[in-house]
């Protein structure tokens, strides 16, 4: 199974806290969307710690950098679309369609990011290959 | 591969809209958590339409009922824990650890529900088996 892309779409979060305004949450979402293709920028928004829950990635900021490098080398033509974004308190949730190789069905991904002081400090994801067939006509997105 | 459980944890949402108060969103989350084991109750909270994006389930309210029945018969000892819940506007997002059979590692699931007039009208999910080994010690949750 391909190691799915799951790190390509977060950068430029605005500051977040447990109690934040609706405008603030919307700004977070827009910032994520605008910068979704800027892979390298991601590391600029990491905090001093980075708790990684993706089981294929090593813990910590250095682990994320290594994982990004690995993915870019293995899937240089990968493309990710952020289909929808949610924000709640200090968390941002993305529903993503990631296509590691052009023409493949790709993966459905949900990323959950926790922020502190405008920096990403924790990441979870769930990744599922898009199946060839479905019992409905609605797609996974 | 087991068909993962992914429908067991939504019921009793409070009304939601695009602009809702923080208290309202919190109430939504709590309602979901309290009722998470009440499988049958789920169907009471379906709207007249139910757009299903899980590729293993047929579209519509009847499709969901059939899917619940199938899962309960196939995995009668299944257990799901809602690890974290987010709410944003008319959407509720759950991060779930679902264990279809006792002692198995189970699946990481993110459910996304869209509500209209206090009824669930659309559902997406992403499901990933928890792997035996991980590159970090943080678990998928």
Greatest C-alpha distance within chain A: 45
Which of A53, A91, A106 should one mutate to test binding to chain B, selecting the residue with the greatest count of B CBs within 10 A? A53
pLDDT band at B116 (very low <50, low <70, confident <90, very high): confident
How many other CB atoms are found less than 10 A from the CB of residue A33?
14
If phi over 0 gives left and psi between -120 and 50 gives alpha, with beta otherwise, what is residue A31?
A: alpha
Q: Which residues pair with B137 in a beta bridge?
A: none
Q: Which long-range contacts (CB under 8 A, 24 or more apart) does B24-32 make?
A: B25/A88, B25/B87, B25/B88, B26/B87, B28/B87, B28/B92, B29/B85, B29/B86, B29/B87, B29/B92, B32/B82, B32/B85, B32/B92, B32/B94
Q: With a threshold of 0.85, tell me whether the complex ipTM lies above it.
A: no
Q: Quick one: pLDDT at residue B41? A: 67
Neighbour count for residue A102 (Cβ, 10 Å): 10
Between B134 and A74, the more confident residue is B134
Q: What is the pLDDT of residue B20?
A: 64
For residue B80, pLDDT over 60 is answered with yes
pLDDT above 90 (res B140): yes
Q: What pLDDT sits at residue B63?
A: 86
Determine if residue B103 is left, alpha or beta; phi over 0 gives left, psi from -120 to 50 gives alpha, anything else beta: left
pLDDT at position B34 is: 41
CB neighbours of A39 closer than 8 A, spacing ≥ 6? A7, A8, A68, A72
Instruction: Tell me how close the Cα of A36 comes to any Cα of chain B, in angstroms.
Output: 20
Stronger pLDDT, A39 or B72, i.e. the higher one: B72
Quickly list DSSP for B33-102. Answer: HHTTT-TGGGGGGEEEEEEE--TTS-SHHHHHHHHHHHHHHH-TT-EEEEEEEEEETTEEEEEEEEESST
Q: What was the pLDDT predicted at A36?
A: 44
Could you list the pLDDT tens digit for every one of the 141 residues in chain A? 444 444 334 333 333 334 567 776 765 565 454 444 445 566 677 778 899 999 999 999 888 888 888 888 899 898 889 999 999 999 999 999 999 999 999 999 999 999 888 788 999 999 999 999 999 999 999
For position A9, what pLDDT does the model report? Answer: 40
Q: Which residue among B126, B138, B141 places its CB closest to the CB of A52?
A: B138
Task: Judge whether residue B141 has pLDDT over 90.
Answer: yes
Confirm or reject contact between A58 and chain B (CB < 8 A): yes
B126 vs A: CB within 8 A: yes
Predicted local confidence at residue B110, as pLDDT: 97
Q: Comparing B31 with A77, which gets the higher pLDDT?
A: A77
Angle at A47 between CA A41 and CA A49, to 5 degrees: 125
Query: Is pLDDT at B111 greater than 70 in this prediction?
Result: yes
Within 8 A of A50 by CB-CB distance, chain B residues are: none
Residues whose CB falls within 8 Å of the CB of residue B40, separated by 6 or more in sequence, listed in order: none
């Amino acid at each position: 199974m391909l190691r799915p892309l799951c790190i390509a779409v977060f950068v430029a979060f605005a500051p977040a806290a447990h109690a934040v305004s609706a405008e603030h949450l919307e700004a977070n979402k827009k910032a994520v969307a605008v910068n979704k293709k800027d892979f390298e920028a991601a590391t600029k928004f990491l905090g001093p710690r980075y708790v990684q829950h993706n089981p294929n990635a090593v813990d910590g900021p250095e682990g994320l950098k290594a994982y990004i490098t690995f993915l870019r080398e293995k899937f240089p033509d990968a493309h990710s679309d952020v289909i929808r974004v949610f924000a709640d308190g200090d968390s941002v949730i993305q529903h993503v369609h990631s296509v590691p190789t052009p023409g493949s069905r790709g993966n459905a991904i949900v990323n959950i990011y926790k922020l502190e002081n405008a920096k990403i400090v924790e990441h979870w994801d769930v990744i599922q290959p898009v199946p060839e067939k479905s019992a409905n006509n609605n797609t996974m997105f």
